[in-house]
Amino acid sequence: MLCQICKKKESAITFTKIVGGQKTEIHLCKDCAPIFSDKFSVFPHPQFDINDLLIGLLNAIDLYHKEEGVIPVKEIECSNCHLTYDEFKLSGKLGCSVCYYDFREQLVPLLRRLYGNNEHVGKIPQQSEGKLNEIRKIKQLKKELHELVLKEEYEKAAKTRDEILKLEGVSKKKNAN
Amino acid sequence: MQIKDKSIILRNLKESSAEWINGQGPLTDIVISSRIRLARNVKGIPFPPRAKQGELKNIFELSRQVTGEDSLFEDSNLLLLDELTPLESQFLVEKHLISIYHAREKRSYRGCVFNQKETLSIMVNEEDHFRIQYLLSGLQLSNIWKLINEIDDEIEKKVTYAFSEKEGYLTSCPTNVGTGMRASIMLHLPALAMVNSINDILKTISKIGYVVRGFYGEGTEVMGNLFQVSNQITLGLSEEEIIDNLEKVTQQIINREQKARKELLSNSKSRLEDQAWRAYGILNSARIISSAEAMELLSKLRFGVGLGVISHPNLRTLNKLMLLIQPAYLQMLAGKDLDHFGRDLQRAILIRNEISK
């Protein structure tokens, strides 16, 4: 098999990545492998600038899109600060908090590569504490419910379900207000 | 906050030494200091690299307001970096109050708030609107988290942070998103360097999600066998988990360093003694000394003090010297610009004075 980067030399090394349960393989020749592994590695060697890593990841994602035949979207731009996605790819820095929303399709694979399928579980600003804590609690209860059903502990599951419904009712009311 | 003139603030800074170098706290023979920084942004305003002049000004004024009224910041100072000379900015870097990036960036309205003990500093309009940092000597990340969390809560009473349920605290660079927290521990690892295991260990920990940097953080060289280990992952773990993991990893490095120290001490005590006393001899007699040589010798001397093969000077003096001998600090103390040779002369005088105290 030919190297997937230079497409000239015979591939010698295979990188396997499992992201979100999905396995992808990339075959590289001896010359392209070191460059690629440097840029691709989530854990840089010492003295590695974190921004290089990020830009490397962004390029790796683009490469994957190319491999998978995804047609690149036309220039997208943040509706608030007007940063374009291409500008972000060059600097590795987002322009404002709205960029996270407007570029979410592009950011999701990036964040997944950086952090796995994770969501924020740390501190919550006090101003939004009440609401967010409820959402977190509902998520946790739903997970418990799923486990209880699997274990066929239906009585406990019913109680958990009621608790979820109650909490969801409260948070819907709050949202309506 | 106290309203003071820039020259008074800088003069005080020159004369004071930070609490985190005092050589006290758990495991200070190996752990120099612990640090946590939080990246925070104000909702609705573009991040500093993208913000307009007026927006940067608003953020700067906001920092003045937030710290001005609060008792937590009673003894704090605020500096506008735009007003500082490159030398003065570099001096703040060497004091570990601001990052190199913050000192060199050309953007207007970059600020730095710091308290008298120099344990707390807030970089204003760095890559993020606020970068809150807390530093203490020795291994005490949990303590720092308690303190910095309180400060963060206090700021948040007056500011609405950019935050999303899934991504957490939103930051200019996606590598900080989530907790926005970077926790680091500064380690002095001369024994591991001596037995040549340092590279293997550092390679291993960088493979499991930690970053190793030099004395002055990102992009800086390792000198004097000082290494800064910090977390890479900021999303998907709570602050407590990040701290706990980092402490566990660091503890293993500390164990290895302790083991190497013990072995070296039992196999080649006289060699270590000789090394420490020679370092003392040169530092106490040299008339011209470069910062690279001084850092290397200070590291050897610090190692000897940690092992107990030499008792003078104390850790505090040695920690302090590692800062004082840096180029900008030296020139600030001398009160004038010095060329390379002039600095090497001045450095030798300063070291002799401090060591003979």
What interface predicted TM-score (ipTM) does this complex get?
0.83
Judge if A111 and A141 occupy the same domain.
no
What's the average model confidence in pLDDT over B335-343? 94
* pLDDT score at A170: 63
Interval B309-328: pLDDT, tens: 999 899 999 999 999 999 99
For residue A120, list chain B residues with Cβ-Cβ distance below 8 A: 164-169, 178-179, 235-236
A33: in domain: yes
The CA-based angle B46-B48-B51, given to 5 degrees, is: 50
- What percentage of chain B has pLDDT greater than the value 90? 77
Q: What is the dihedral of CA B35, A50, B44, B134, to 10 degrees?
A: 10
- Are A91 and B212 in contact (CB < 8 Å)? no
Nearest in space to B121 (alpha carbons), one of B188, B217, B226:
B217
Residues contacting B90, CB < 8 A, separation 6+: B103, B327, B328
In a domain, A170, yes or no: yes
Residues A3 and A27 in one domain: yes
B88 Cβ under 8 Å from any chain A Cβ? no
What pLDDT, on a 0 to 100 scale, did the predictor assign at position A31? 67
Q: Are residues A111 and A164 in the same domain?
A: no
Same domain for A27 and A78, yes or no, is: no
Does residue A140 belong to the interface with chain B, where contact is any CB pair within 8 Å? no
pLDDT at residue A119 greater than cutoff 50? yes
The winner for highest mean pLDDT among A30-39, A98-107, A167-176, B220-229 is A98-107
Q: How confident is the model at residue A45 (pLDDT cuts 50, 70, 90)?
A: very low
Instruction: Select the residue from B184, B211, B229 to test the A interface by mutation, using most A Cβ atoms within 10 A.
Output: B211
Domain extent, residue A62, equals 50-115
DSSP state of A72: P
* Among B165, B172, B212, beta carbon nearest to A94: B172
Over range B127-141, report the average pLDDT.
95
Counting one residue from chain A and one from chain B, the pairs whose CB atoms sit within 8 A come to 140
Query: Do A10 and A36 share a domain, yes or no?
Result: yes
Decide: helix, strand or coil at residue B41. Answer: coil
B167–A contact, CB cutoff 8 A: yes
Closest CA to B36 of B178, B182, B138, B206: B182
Residue B221: C-alpha distances to residues A88, B213, B218, B224 (Å): 28, 7, 9, 10
- Residue B22: predicted pLDDT: 85
Which of the given ranges, A36-40, A86-90, B10-14, B293-297, has the highest pLDDT on average? B293-297
For B331-354, b/e burial (b = at least 16 CB within 10 A) is bbebeeebeeeebbbbbbebbbeb
State the nearest Cα–Cα gap between B285 and chain A, in angstroms: 34
Tokens 């349920």, located at residue: B165
Give yes or no for residue A40 having a pLDDT over 60: no
**Residue A77 located in a structural domain:** yes
Q: Is A122 a residue whose pLDDT tops 80? A: yes
Mutation target for A interface from B167, B179, B238: give the one with most A CBs within 10 A: B167
Query: Which residues in chain A are contacts of B101 at CB distance < 8 A?
Result: none
Query: Mutation test of the interface with chain A: which of B126, B157, B172, choosing the one with the most A Cβ atoms within 10 A?
Result: B172
Flag whether residue B99 sits within 8 Å of chain A, measured between CB atoms. no
Mean pLDDT of B70-92: 91
E strands, chain B, in order: 31-40, 77-80, 111-114, 120-124, 130-137, 163-164, 168-169, 181-188, 210-213, 226-231
CATH of the domain at A31: 3.30.60
- A43 with A69, same domain: the answer is no
Nearest to A46 among B157, B173, B202 (CB): B202
User: Is A120 inside any structural domain?
Assistant: no
The answer on pLDDT for B5 being more than 90 is: no
Option in B47, B160, B206 nearest A43 (CB) = B206
Q: What is the pLDDT of residues B163-217, one digit of tens each?
A: 998 899 999 999 999 999 999 999 999 999 988 888 888 888 888 888 888 777 6
Q: Are A60 and A77 within one domain?
A: yes
Cis peptide before B313 (omega within 30 of 0): yes
User: How far is the C-alpha of B10 from the C-alpha of B78, rounded, in Å?
Assistant: 11
- Higher pLDDT, residue B65 or A51: B65
Does residue A101 sit in the same domain as residue A140? Answer: no
Q: Tell me if A97 sits within 8 A of B170, measured CB to CB.
A: yes
Is A42 part of the contact surface with chain B (CB cutoff 8 Å)?
yes
In the numeric block, which tokens belong to residue B277? 């006393």
Within 263-292 of B, beta carbons closer than 8 Å to A belong to none
Span of A125-129, A153-157, B13-17, B259-263 with lowest mean pLDDT: A125-129
Is the pLDDT at B219 greater than 70, yes or no? no
HSE-CB for A71 with a 13 A CA cutoff:
2
Question: Taking CB atoms and an 8 Å limit, are A49 and B219 in contact across chains?
Answer: yes
Contact criterion met (CB < 8 Å) for A97 and B162? yes
Q: How many domains does chain A have?
A: 3
**Chain mean pLDDT for chain A:** 74
- Using a CB-CB cut-off of 8 Å, the residues of chain B touching A128 are 163
| Those residues with Cβ within 8 angstroms of residue A24's Cβ, 6 or more apart along the chain or in another chain | A16, A17, A18, A64
Among the ranges given (A77-91, A104-118, B142-156), the one the predictor scored with the smallest mean pLDDT? A104-118
Q: Report if residue A54 sits inside a domain.
A: yes
Is A60 found in the same domain as A111?
yes
CB B1 within 8 A of CB B73: yes
pLDDT of residue B124: 97
- Residue A57 sits in the same domain as residue A35: no
Higher pLDDT, A20 or B62: B62
Chain mean pLDDT for chain B: 92
Q: Which of A51, A81, A110 sits opposite B46 (nearest CB)?
A: A81
| Position A105 in a domain | yes
CA of A1 vs chain B CAs: smallest distance (Å): 29
Rounded-to-integer distance, Cα A15 and Cα A31, Å: 14
pLDDT band at A67 (very low <50, low <70, confident <90, very high): low
Q: Which residues pair with A38 in a beta bridge?
A: none
Contact criterion met (CB < 8 Å) for B47 and A120: no
> Is residue A43 domain-resident?
yes
| Confidence class for position A110, pLDDT limits 50, 70, 90 | confident
Among B164, B214, B222, select the one facing A100 at the smallest CB separation: B164
Model confidence pLDDT, tens digit, residues B25-67: 889 999 999 999 999 999 999 999 999 999 999 999 999 998 8
pLDDT bracket for residue B245 (50, 70, 90) = very high
Q: Which residue of A has its CA nearest to B152?
A: A125
Same domain, A1 and A44: yes
Asked if A175 reaches chain B (Cβ–Cβ under 8 Å), the answer is no
Q: Say if A121 falls within a structural domain.
A: no
The pLDDT value given to residue B68: 84
Question: Do A25 and A66 reside in the same domain of the chain?
Answer: no
Residue B188 or residue A44, greater confidence: B188
Q: Would the pLDDT of A22 be above 80?
A: no
